[in-house]
Amino acid sequence: EAGVVQSPRYKIIEKKQPVAFWCNPISGHNTLYWYLQNLGQGPELLIRYENEEAVDDSQLPKDRFSAERLKGVDSTLKIQPAELGDSAVYLCASSSGVGTDTQYFGPGTRLTVL
């Protein structure tokens, strides 16, 4: 069974540029999470989807971040415009979402903003 797939793995951009990250969860997993991981820290939730609905986006900086999961499968996280402080690893995770807690993480996208 394929795991959570993320692309790109690495991205270097200049500040004020837009950037997008893509995630394909494990097949059949209804719940999808986007996390931010700063260097030396644990993951912090940005947004959680149940199918195509964003059910927890309280930690998403909505002035510059947006996300979508239009068909309830893969998802895109966008930053526009990027700032220096956005340099971090962006992790995607998924879970089956039905009475289960286990989250499976993808390899992450390492973003560097110059």
What residues line the site for another protein (CB under 8 A)?
4, 31, 40-45, 48, 55-56, 91, 93, 95, 97, 99-108
Cβ closest to another protein, residue 81 vs residue 105: 105
Minimal distance, residue 49 CB to another protein, in Å: 11
72: left (phi over 0), alpha (psi -120 to 50) or beta: left
CB 87 within 8 A of CB 113: yes
Q: Write out the E strands in 1-114.
A: 5-7, 10-13, 19-24, 31-37, 44-50, 53-56, 65-68, 75-79, 88-95, 104-105, 109-113
Minimal distance, residue 16 CB to another protein, in Å: 28
Cβ closest to another protein, residue 81 vs residue 87: 87
Cβ closest to another protein, residue 3 vs residue 18: 3
Minimal distance, residue 9 CB to another protein, in Å: 8
